[in-house]
Structures are given as structure tokens and as C-alpha cells.
């Protein structure tokens, strides 16, 4: 994993995009602050520009830098053992390209060891989206990923143990104006 981390870190720092395993489905990712890389991902996926993305971070502490009105009582859901993406009502310190039209942002504290190590090395959150053409099903295995996606990234992270697993998307919760969780996908 050490060599894969080194290569992936260099790709991200240089503004590239990766295909990598996450704690859910295979993802396309880049520096969450890099508009050019984000635009490349949108074009690769044939994705509408106004559709928001998921931001991957290592800890609840990092979320505080990306949303306003953070509440400590949310941390139980944030740190759930089950991969959980939370849509926060008011994003901050992020490019417009990753924020939804209503000002919200989807963030997940990542549990995958490779992703955790990668975020620790690059020192920025990752933009993440499923490794599929927009509108098509998310690939549940590595072999489900289209050749055009594989060829369109700067690097495919090679972690063979990850390639055999069947993955599922994360649970999605949205925080309403009262600070309560609403289940979007369970």
C-alpha cells in the first residue's frame, strides 16, 4: 500500500484524478479545492455541472472547517461504523463546484484505510463520486467499471484485495433547518 499511497499523493498534489477504492463503491477523486480537476471528473462522467459531490474527510474535526453551525450532537452519526454521508445545510471554504444549489454539502468521514492514509498525506479533503457514467448504476465491483472511466483517470489505485469485494453505496442523511437528521437513503 505504501507505493500506491506515494503515487496517489503525487497525482493529487499535481492536480490529477484517481480511481480508488473507498469504504463504499469505487470512487473517482481529486483535491476538493481543485476546480480544474473537478471539471475533468464532471466531463469524464458526463455529469451535469450543477450536481454536487461528496467530500471525504478523516474526522469530525475536519468537517468544522467545511460547514457553518456545526453541532457536537451530530458526532454519533458522523462517527457511525456504517459508511454514512451527511448533507450539511451550509457549506463554507469550498469551491462552488462542490456545493449544491441550496448551499449544502455532502461529507463522509471515510473509514477505508487507504483513503484515510491518503487524506493524512495530502492534507486536504477529497472530492469523491462513484466511478460510473452519470445516470448509470454505481459499479459494485472493479470489473463493473467502464473502460472509458479507467482510461480517463490519471491513475488507478492498485489494491488487489479491494478489487474482489462487492461494494454498496453509503447511507445518506440530511440535516434539516432544525438540526435533525432526515434519512435520504438507508
Q: What are phi and psi of 30, to 5 degrees?
A: -160, 180
Q: Which three cell numbers stand for residue 112?
A: 477505508
**Structural domain span for residue 27:** 2-185
What pLDDT shows up at residue 160?
Answer: 63
The residue-averaged pLDDT of 165-171 equals: 69
Nearest to 65 by CA among 48, 90, 102, 45: 90
Instruction: Note the pLDDT tens digit of each residue in 146-165.
Output: 999 999 999 999 876 555 55
Instruction: Please name the residue ranges forming H helices in the chain.
Output: 2-13, 35-45, 60-63, 75-78, 113-122, 147-152, 160-163
Instruction: Note the pLDDT tens digit of each residue in 3-49.
Output: 999 999 999 999 999 999 888 888 999 999 999 999 999 999 998 77
Q: What are phi and psi of 113, to 5 degrees?
A: -60, -40
Q: Mean pLDDT of all residues in the chain?
A: 89
N-to-C CA span, the chain:
31
For a pLDDT cut of 70, what percent of the chain falls above it?
95
The CATH number of the domain holding residue 33 is 3.90.870.10
Confidence of residue 176 (pLDDT cuts 50, 70, 90): confident
Structural domain total, the chain: 1
**CA atoms of 45 and 40, how far apart (whole Å):** 9
| Reported pTM | 0.91
- Pick from 6-10, 70-74, 131-135, 154-158: least confident: 70-74
Amino acid at each position: 500500500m505504501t507505493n500506491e499511497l506515494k503515487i496517489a499523493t503525487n497525482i493529487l498534489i499535481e492536480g490529477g484524478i484517481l480511481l480508488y477504492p473507498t469504504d463504499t463503491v469505487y470512487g473517482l477523486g481529486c483535491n476538493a479545492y481543485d476546480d480544474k480537476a473537478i471539471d475533468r471528473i464532471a466531463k469524464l462522467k458526463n455529469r451535469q455541472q450543477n450536481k454536487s459531490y461528496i467530500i471525504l474527510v478523516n474526522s469530525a474535526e475536519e468537517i468544522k472547517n467545511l460547514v457553518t453551525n456545526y453541532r457536537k450532537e451530530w458526532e454519533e452519526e458522523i462517527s457511525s461504523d456504517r459508511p454514512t454521508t451527511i448533507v450539511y445545510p451550509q457549506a463554507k471554504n469550498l469551491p462552488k463546484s462542490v456545493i449544491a444549489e441550496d448551499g449544502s454539502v455532502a461529507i463522509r468521514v471515510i473509514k477505508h484505510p487507504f483513503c484515510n492514509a491518503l487524506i493524512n498525506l495530502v492534507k486536504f479533503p477529497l472530492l469523491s463520486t462513484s466511478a460510473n457514467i452519470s445516470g448509470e448504476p454505481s459499479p459494485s465491483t472493479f470489473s463493473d467499471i467502464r473502460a472509458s472511466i479507467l482510461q480517463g483517470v490519471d491513475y488507478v489505485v492498485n489494491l488487489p484485495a479491494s478489487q474482489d469485494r462487492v461494494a454498496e453505496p453509503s447511507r445518506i442523511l440530511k440535516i434539516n433547518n432544525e438540526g435533525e437528521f432526515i434519512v435520504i437513503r438507508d
